[in-house]
Every structure is written in structure tokens, then in C-alpha cells.
Amino acid sequence: MIIVAIDEINFKKASNIIDNLDSEKCMVKIGSISFNSIGSEIISYAYKKGFDIFLDLKLNDIPNTVKKSIVGLASYPIKMLTIHTSGGKEMMTAAMEAVSGTNIKIYGVTVLTSLSNNDTKEIFQRSTSEQVSAMLDLAESAGIDGVVCSPHELELVSKRKSLLSITPGIRLKNLHDDQKRVMTPKEAINLGADYLVIGRPITSAHNISETLNKIFQSIQ
């Protein structure tokens, strides 16, 4: 399944992107850029247009704060929500408790796709694969629904049958911008990705609808 990232602070621009998408071929992702400026308005608009919504806020705080935050966010018509796995098992468990009785799925961010292996070693004192593996252990033990990881860690996730994967860092060609660990849609699907997050390659395209359709067809 394709998830199109809506990263606009202007409602007109964001709604125009949504108008050119097909709810049969993708979900939409509302991240902190849009949520902090046009949050409830754009979520309501996407929902009324028939889209499933992935709210990507990457929550990371003490367990009680995260739990209460999610209880509040659960009032929105969302299907998926992100937290950081580095917040620890107790925080992830609290997140799952907050969505009990709802249809909202919790996904934990492992290592941001903007980080290179050298960055990961500098921050966590271990390689990207070692850090992701450690976060996968925590995610499994906490019982969350899935994780967010780059395409390059999909093989690690595929060994964890209880976890679904959301994969950002998707580019139509292997171009590197502010994302360091990238891959094409077909390559990621072949490695077992459940959801592909694609932003600028679709939203900045001359023809958004045509670009989405081409990507959709390429991964069937």
C-alpha cells in the first residue's frame, strides 16, 4: 500500500494534492509539518474524501504523557499513529493501552532515514543495523503493531512475523537528498515492505495523479 506524505503548511496546497490522489490506490500521511499548522482541517478534509489517514507525529515522552496525548489524538479519524521505539518498552506499552478499544494501529520509528550509518554510530554508539535490531526487540516485547524503518532494514523486520513495516525513504530513482537510506518502490516491495511512504516524488510531480498511478502499477 502506498502512503502519500502531505507536508504542507497551507491548506489550499495540501487539499489540492489530496484532490489529485485516489483513495483506492493510497492512504495519506499527515506529519508534524501539516498537523501543527492545519491539523484538524486537513485530517477532516482527507477523511471526507475517503482516505485512510496515517498520523505521523513520532511521539516520544514519558509514558503517561504519551498515553494521554494519544487518548486525545484518538478523537481524530486516523488509522495509524507513530511513536519512537527509543522511548522504551513502558512508553510503547502505554501507547498500546491508549488505543485499546479503537482501530488505531501503533507503529514505532526505529532509526530515522535521514541518518547515515556514521550518524547512528555517533548517536547510539553502534551501527544502524544493530540499533534497528535492538529497537525491533523492544517493539516486539511491547506488542506494538509495527515499525517504521528504511528499506535497508526491511530484511531485519521480515524476520519478526508479528511486526508490519512502514517504509519511508522511497525514491523513484536512487537519488539521495536529505534521506540517506533510500530505495525504489519495487525494490522495497520485493524486500517485504507492507507500506511505502512517498512524498515529494508524488506531491511535487507535474501530474500527481499520473505519477501515483505509475507507481501503483509498478508494484502490482
Assess whether pLDDT exceeds 60 at residue 86: yes
Assess whether pLDDT exceeds 70 at residue 178: no
Kindly give, in sequence order, each residue whose CB lies less than 8 Å from that of residue 59, ignoring residues fewer than 6 positions away: 66, 69, 70, 81, 82, 83, 84, 87, 95
Per-residue confidence band for 179, with pLDDT thresholds at 50, 70 and 90: low
Residue 180, pLDDT score: 53
Assess whether pLDDT exceeds 60 at residue 50: yes
**Domain ranges across the chain:** 2-218
**Average per-residue pLDDT in the chain?**
93
Out of 12-16, 125-129, 195-199, which region has the weakest mean confidence (pLDDT)? Answer: 125-129
Assess whether pLDDT exceeds 90 at residue 171: no
Q: Which residues are catalytic?
A: 58
Q: Which CATH architecture has domain 2-218?
A: Alpha-Beta Barrel (3.20)
Assess whether pLDDT exceeds 60 at residue 209: yes
The pLDDT > 70 percentage for the chain reads: 96
Tell which wins on pLDDT, 178 or 168: 168
Query: Model pTM?
Result: 0.92
Residue 77, pLDDT score: 97
Residue 172, pLDDT score: 82
Assess whether pLDDT exceeds 90 at residue 80: yes
Per-residue confidence band for 116, with pLDDT thresholds at 50, 70 and 90: confident
Assess whether pLDDT exceeds 80 at residue 175: no
Residue 181, pLDDT score: 58
